[in-house]
């Protein structure tokens, strides 16, 4: 990915996007598979599997207990059906809950020991070489000079974290960035205090299942007053067949700290569906700020709706301290079914929550996504900007809740919710819930639905752009407010993704 | 040079013949005007030439410098040098005018096998053109045609024309919705672009635009055909007597 100047990114589409579209030629770019020997836990889920996962991660007894309690709870729960998505019943006993490359059983000590297939996988995914070395778990690679801007990466391959880069440098700043399994072993006091404190074990069907069987994920702790010296990111890759990925992410920004975190996801093309049920918890203490950006590009299935990832994710932030701030930005282009509502609990006085979302559903994809802004503290503010794009036969639903509690005096919310339709076989739905329980709050909701119209496309084509360029241009214009909220590197990637995921949606 | 021969066009959706045998040749470097009453097929001609959906060409051809444009996709016609200044320029929210122009310029260059313009070169190029057309730098930053006044929209069309450097420019009722001052400004822009290698087809209902863009040849169109061709004096005749006399004369 080459770097363009900021104005270009902010203005909308550019040649880069168009080139990317051409290059990819309408195919899902990350659909290949790494052939690698894996360790699987037996299929299905039961207390023994839960114990096995806990044991694989070398977890202390309290963690195993926590998981088992979650599992007992999950067994009594039923799968939610209120979302506007339709998929065949999932057989939860026909899924592998743990899959790890055999070569990761022991941490490699040098480059020679690292499984070349893992190295190759990350190279193909476009993760820079320097980072690649560290990703594959080579000790000492941190000392080599990095090229360009630093982004620390935690790479999760199926059920395990393969490696985390720049840990040493982050440590100097006091920042802890590691896999969640490492955090459970090395920082139990933090994990005990915060895990499940934002998304309770009992929260919902998928979150409870995750609590029982989560295998890995990322952990971040930023100490008081520290501005994290680089962007942190996690790259999730599902590779093994019939395997669910249940990652768990926990980010804690202590008083007055700041962190920006990015998350990317891809998976091979397969004609069976795969389950991904993640839980992400963010905690922002007094005056702390967290930016969390996602580019979700799981395999969406083919144009007939065969295969693809079921993406059932619970993401929530607790703005626990006064004046804390959380910003969610998501670009959701992948997955066969998406069920995801990154939310903010605005507990601290004057805390702020923001949610910027682009959700694209093409072919047979279904997306039911949105946010919850729960205002508890005084003078809390939230802002929601949602851009839903539907093409092919896809269904795209925005579902959101804005809640002003009695004590949330002078709470403010602004919601803008726009839908764009391409073609005449897709659907866009908006389901906003608004609850106001005090007199001083103000809630604003604006919604629009529009079509990419033929006149716009003809206008672009008369000026020399082909149909795909024209659609990409118009759609990127529609998404501009959200693209601007992304970090630079992601904005570029997101623009390209927008174009790629709409390939073949016209004509 | 654009040569239109025996062009017959009907609407795709309903069985309605709009153009009933248009013959027209616009020589390189010349300015031709087409005048005619409402519903005579003037705008349809401009859409068919530029490749808009919804029309069926049932007979005839339109050849631009030896190539039959009717066989091409709209973007191929654009790359071949055909430009349409729209009667109603389209708004594209969220897309900066600059981005739009750069995407268009580079798409055409690419289609012609030329090198794309770098960001720096493009910026220089667009500023230069905007300045020569007295267009504010501010207008370049705004989203394409969004919130533009009628005059700004039409001047933006002329800016695009200047940037894309077409061989054949079709102006579809460019004077519609403009007051006299705005029309003068637009006409000045067009006149600045007149050159030996560039032809114009100016479609207008009123003579007043032709006071500012002086045509070499004037055609009168009625009921899907060119019914009369003459010099600039023909436009004045329309202005004085209206279309009725001419139509009665050729009937």
Q: Could you report the per-residue pLDDT of A456-474, keeping only the tens digit for each?
A: 999 999 999 998 899 889 9
The C-alpha of A4 sits at a distance from chain B's nearest C-alpha, in angstroms, of: 9
Taking residue B188's Cβ as centre, other Cβ atoms within 10 Å add up to 16
The C-alpha of B89 sits at a distance from chain A's nearest C-alpha, in angstroms, of: 8
Q: Out of A24-33, B20-29, B128-137, which region has the weakest mean confidence (pLDDT)?
A: A24-33
What share of chain A in percent tops pLDDT 70? 83
CB contact under 8 A, A474 and B95: yes
Does the CB of A351 have a partner CB in chain B at under 8 Å? Answer: no
Q: Tell whether the model's pLDDT for residue B189 goes beyond 50.
A: yes
Question: B248 falls in which pLDDT band (50, 70, 90)?
Answer: confident
Q: Tell whether the model's pLDDT for residue A226 goes beyond 60.
A: yes
Do residues B246 and B227 touch, judged by C-beta distance below 8 A? yes
Does the CB of B89 have a partner CB in chain A at under 8 Å? Answer: yes
Task: Please state whether beta strands A218-222 and A176-179 pair in parallel, antiparallel, or not at all (unpaired).
Answer: antiparallel
CB contact under 8 A, A459 and B143: no
Chain B residues inside the 8 Å CB shell of A458: 52-53, 74, 90
Of B74, B94, B160, the CB nearest to A461: B74
Q: Out of A64-73, A265-274, B70-79, which region has the weakest mean confidence (pLDDT)?
A: A265-274
Mean pLDDT within B220-224: 94
CB contact under 8 A, A463 and B78: yes
- In A297-365 the beta strands, taken as DSSP E runs, fall at 308-319, 325-332, 337-340, 343-346, 352-361
Q: Tell whether the model's pLDDT for residue A29 goes beyond 50.
A: yes
Q: Tell whether the model's pLDDT for residue B26 goes beyond 70.
A: yes
CB contact under 8 A, B74 and A462: yes
Q: Out of A25-34, A216-225, B163-172, which region has the weakest mean confidence (pLDDT)?
A: A25-34
Taking residue A398's Cβ as centre, other Cβ atoms within 10 Å add up to 25
What share of chain B in percent tops pLDDT 70? 100
CA atoms within a 13 Å half-sphere pointing along the CA-CB vector of B234 = 19
Mean pLDDT of all residues in chain A? 83
| pLDDT for the residue A264 | 80
Cα-Cα-Cα-Cα dihedral sign, residues B70, B75, B79, B81: positive
**CA A409 to centroid of chain Cα atoms:** 32
| pLDDT for the residue A372 | 96
Laid out side by side, the sheet with B217-222 consists of: B82-85, B168-172, B199-204, B31-35, B217-222, B225-230
Q: In terms of Cα–Cα distance, which of A285, A274, A397 is closest to A332?
A: A397
Which of B53, B100, B166 is the best substitution to test chain A (most A C-beta atoms within 10 A)?
Answer: B100
CB contact under 8 A, B99 and A8: yes
**H/E stretch holding B139:** helix B137-141
| pLDDT for the residue A109 | 53
Question: A112 falls in which pLDDT band (50, 70, 90)?
Answer: low
Do residues A430 and A417 touch, judged by C-beta distance below 8 A? yes
Mean pLDDT within A474-479: 89
The C-alpha of B120 sits at a distance from chain A's nearest C-alpha, in angstroms, of: 11
Of B51, B96, B104, the CB nearest to A463: B104
Chain B residues inside the 8 Å CB shell of A18: 103, 107
Mean pLDDT within A224-247: 84
CB contact under 8 A, B99 and A13: yes
Taking residue A118's Cβ as centre, other Cβ atoms within 10 Å add up to 24
Mean pLDDT within B195-224: 93
Q: In terms of Cα–Cα distance, which of A417, A332, A317 is closest to A372?
A: A317
Does the CB of B95 have a partner CB in chain A at under 8 Å? Answer: yes
Of A12, A18, A463, the CB nearest to B96: A12
Q: In terms of Cα–Cα distance, which of A28, A31, A74 is closest to A50?
A: A74
More confident residue, B251 or A311: A311
| pLDDT for the residue B23 | 96
Mean pLDDT within A347-372: 93
Q: Tell whether the model's pLDDT for residue B200 goes beyond 80.
A: yes
Q: Tell whether the model's pLDDT for residue A12 goes beyond 50.
A: no
Does the CB of B106 have a partner CB in chain A at under 8 Å? Answer: yes
Mean pLDDT within A412-430: 91
Does the CB of B51 have a partner CB in chain A at under 8 Å? Answer: yes
Does the CB of B104 have a partner CB in chain A at under 8 Å? Answer: yes
Question: A25 falls in which pLDDT band (50, 70, 90)?
Answer: very low
| Main-chain phi, psi angles of A211, to 5 degrees | -60, -30
Mean pLDDT within A123-128: 63
Residues 3-22 of A with CB under 8 A from B: 4-5, 8, 11-15, 18
| pLDDT for the residue A489 | 66
Q: Tell whether the model's pLDDT for residue A507 goes beyond 80.
A: no
The C-alpha of A428 sits at a distance from chain B's nearest C-alpha, in angstroms, of: 19
Question: A140 falls in which pLDDT band (50, 70, 90)?
Answer: very low
Q: In terms of Cα–Cα distance, which of A262, A270, A225 is closest to A243?
A: A270
The C-alpha of A458 sits at a distance from chain B's nearest C-alpha, in angstroms, of: 7
| pLDDT for the residue A31 | 73
How would you class A24 by CB atoms within 10 Å of its CB: exposed for 0-12, middle for 13-18, buried for 19 or more?
Answer: middle
| pLDDT for the residue A111 | 44
Of B75, B77, B99, the CB nearest to A14: B99
Q: Out of A410-419, A495-504, B214-223, which region has the weakest mean confidence (pLDDT)?
A: A495-504
More confident residue, A489 or B67: B67
CB contact under 8 A, A462 and B94: no
Q: Tell whether the model's pLDDT for residue A22 goes beyond 60.
A: no
Q: In terms of Cα–Cα distance, which of A355, A343, A345 is closest to A375?
A: A345
CA atoms within a 13 Å half-sphere pointing along the CA-CB vector of A449 = 11
CB contact under 8 A, B89 and A8: no
Interface predicted TM-score (ipTM) of this complex, two decimals: 0.96
Question: A113 falls in which pLDDT band (50, 70, 90)?
Answer: low
What CATH number labels B2-250?
A: 3.40.50.300
Mean pLDDT within A281-295: 95
Q: Tell whether the model's pLDDT for residue B174 goes beyond 80.
A: yes
Fill in the DSSP letter of residue A227: B
């Amino acid at each position: 990915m080459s770097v363009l100047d900021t104005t270009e990114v902010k203005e909308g589409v550019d040649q880069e996007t168009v080139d990317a579209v051409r290059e990819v030629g309408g195919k899902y770019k990350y659909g290949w598979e790494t052939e690698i020997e894996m360790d699987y836990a037996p299929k299905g889920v039961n207390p023994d599997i839960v114990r096995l996962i806990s044991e694989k991660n070398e977890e202390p007894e309290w963690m195993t207990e926590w998981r088992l309690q979650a599992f007992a709870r999950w067994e009594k729960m039923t799968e939610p059906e209120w979302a506007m998505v339709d998929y065949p019943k999932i057989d939860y006993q026909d899924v592998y809950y743990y899959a790890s490359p055999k070569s990761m059983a022991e941490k490699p000590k040098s480059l020679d020991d690292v499984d070349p297939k893992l190295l190759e996988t990350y190279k193909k995914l476009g993760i820079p070489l320097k980072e690649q070395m560290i990703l594959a778990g080579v000790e000492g690679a941190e000392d080599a000079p990095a090229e360009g801007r630093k982004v620390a990466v935690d790479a999760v391959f199926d059920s395990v974290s393969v490696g985390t880069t720049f840990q040493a440098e982050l440590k100097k700043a006091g920042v802890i960035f590691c896999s969640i399994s490492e955090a459970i072993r090395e920082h139990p006091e933090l994990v005990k205090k915060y895990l499940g404190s934002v998304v309770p074990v009992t929260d919902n069907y998928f979150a409870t299942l995750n609590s029982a069987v989560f295998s890995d994920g990322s952990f971040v702790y930023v100490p008081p007053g520290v501005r994290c010296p680089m962007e942190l990111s996690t790259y999730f890759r599902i590779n093994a067949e019939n395997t669910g990925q249940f990652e768990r992410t926990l980010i804690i920004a202590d008083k007055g700290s700041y962190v920006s975190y990015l998350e990317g996801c891809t998976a091979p093309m397969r004609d069976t569906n795969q389950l991904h049920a993640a839980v992400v918890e963010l905690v922002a203490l007094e005056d702390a700020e967290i930016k969390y950006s996602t580019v979700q590009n799981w395999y969406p299935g083919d144009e007939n709706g065969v295969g693809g990832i079921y993406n059932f994710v619970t993401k929530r932030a607790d703005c626990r301290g006064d004046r804390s701030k959380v910003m969610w930005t998501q670009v959701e282009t992948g997955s066969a079914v998406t069920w995801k509502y990154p939310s903010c609990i605005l507990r601290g006085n004057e805390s702020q929550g923001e949610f910027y979302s682009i959700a694209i559903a093409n072919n047979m994809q279904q997306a039911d996504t949105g946010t919850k802004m729960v205002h508890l503290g005084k003078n809390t503010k939230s802002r929601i900007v949602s851009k839903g794009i539907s093409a092919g036969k896809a269904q795209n639903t925005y579902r959101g809740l804005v809640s002003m509690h009695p004590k949330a005096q002078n709470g403010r919310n602004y919601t803008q919710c726009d839908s764009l339709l391409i073609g005449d076989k897709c659907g866009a739905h908006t389901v906003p819930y608004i609850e106001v329980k005090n007199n001083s709050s103000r809630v604003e909701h604006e919604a629009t639905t529009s079509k990419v119209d033929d006149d716009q496309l003809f206008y672009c084509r008369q000026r020399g752009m082909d149909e795909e360029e024209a659609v990409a241009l118009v759609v990127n214009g529609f998404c501009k407010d959200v693209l601007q909220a992304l970090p630079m590197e992601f904005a570029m990637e997101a623009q390209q993704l927008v174009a790629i995921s709409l390939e073949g949606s016209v004509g | 040079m654009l040569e239109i021969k025996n062009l017959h066009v009907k609407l795709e959706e309903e069985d309605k013949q709009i153009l009933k045998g248009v013959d027209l040749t616009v020589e390189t470097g010349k300015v031709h005007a087409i005048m005619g009453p409402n519903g005579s097929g003037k705008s349809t001609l401009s859409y068919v030439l530029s490749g808009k959906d919804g029309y069926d060409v049932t007979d005839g051809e339109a050849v631009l410098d030896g190539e039959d444009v009717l066989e091409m996709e709209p973007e191929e016609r654009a790359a071949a040098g055909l430009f349409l200044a729209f009667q109603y320029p389209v708004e594209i929210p969220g897309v900066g005018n600059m981005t739009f122009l750069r995407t268009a310029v580079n798409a055409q260059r690419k289609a012609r096998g030329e090198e794309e313009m770098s960001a720096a070169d493009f910026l220089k190029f667009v500023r230069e053109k905007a300045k020569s057309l007295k267009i504010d730098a501010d207008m370049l930053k705004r989203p394409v045609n969004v919130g533009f006044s009628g005059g700004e929209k039409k001047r933006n069309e002329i800016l695009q024309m200047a940037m894309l450097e077409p061989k054949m420019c079709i102006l579809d009722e460019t004077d519609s919705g403009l007051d006299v001052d705005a029309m003068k400004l637009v006409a000045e822009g067009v006149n600045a672009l007149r050159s030996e290698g560039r032809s114009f087809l100016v479609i207008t209902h009123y003579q007043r635009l032709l006071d500012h863009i002086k045509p070499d040849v004037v055609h009168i169109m009625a009921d899907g055909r060119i019914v009369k061709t003459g010099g600039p004096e023909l436009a004045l005749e329309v202005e004085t007597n209206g279309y009725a006399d001419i139509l009665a004369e050729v009937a």
